[in-house]
Homo-oligomer: A and B are copies of this chain.
Amino acid sequence: MTEQVTAERRDGESRSARKRRAIMEAATTLFLRNGYLGTSMDEVAALAAVSKQTVYKHFADKERLFTDIVLGVTDMAGEFVEDVTRTLRDTDDLEKDLGALARRYVISVVRPPVLQLRRLLVGEAARFPELARTYHERAPERTVAALAASFQRLAGRGLLRLDDPLLAANHFAYLILGMPLNRAMFRGDDGFTRAELEHLADEGVRVFLAAYGRR
């Protein structure tokens, strides 16, 4: 009996989480297609195939819904930050480990949900300056700061040569991400195969190490 109740509650929670995700996906689609102003909670409910009451149970208003969508993507940046620190802390093959990290970096950023969110947020940055700033701090800036801290440690071990770790981290980031990210902002996300993204990562690392690697 107890087990049955628990199972029902777990199913209930999981159904609730599914509905929440469906609402966020529907809202992302509509915000992207029609802009923030051009999207109503009624349309979100219809596309998510839930009642309007259910939408408001999960999100107090449209602004809250938009904010939660944006901040949800920054969680993925947090995971990559841990990856950076873990991968570079004790590396004894910098070229190999940095190359693998660069591939994970480009593949984690240049994919539909992240790119769509970026386009949406850039378009609404004038209406939501604080949210845009928060996203910028918690996603790209946090990642670059983690890279900078790791690069400084590697310079201390004599594995990199650099004066300005933050600048080096920005060079690393945009050697790898600059072109596909910029393209995706204007053209959507259909531009690159996984093999092409990995090639961009490999070539970015090659240029980075030519400038910052041990001679």
Contact = CB atoms under 8 A, between A and B. Distances in A.
A35 B36 contact: yes
Given A35-B38, A179-B174, A211-B210, A186 B126 contact: no
A157 interface: no
A201 interface: no
A206 B163 CA distance: 13
Contacts of A175: 171, 174-175, 178
A112 to B, nearest CB: 13
A76 interface: no
A179 to B, nearest CB: 4
Q: How large is the interface on A (under 10, 10 to 19, 20 to 34, 35 or more residues)?
A: 35 or more
A146 B185 CA distance: 21
A46 interface: no
A57 interface: no
Interface in A156-196: 164, 167, 170-171, 173-175, 177-179, 181-183, 185-188
A7 interface: no
A187 B35 contact: no
A18 interface: no
Interface secondary structure of A, over-half rule: helix
Nearest to A139: B186
Given A119-B122, A126-B32, A133 B186 contact: yes
A183 B119 contact: no
Interface of A: 32-38, 118-127, 129, 132-133, 135-136, 140, 164, 167, 170-171, 173-175, 177-179, 181-183, 185-188, 203-204, 206-208, 210-212
Given A33-B126, A119-B125, A170-B178, 5 more contacts: A37-B37, A125-B185, A126-B188, A175-B178, A210-B210
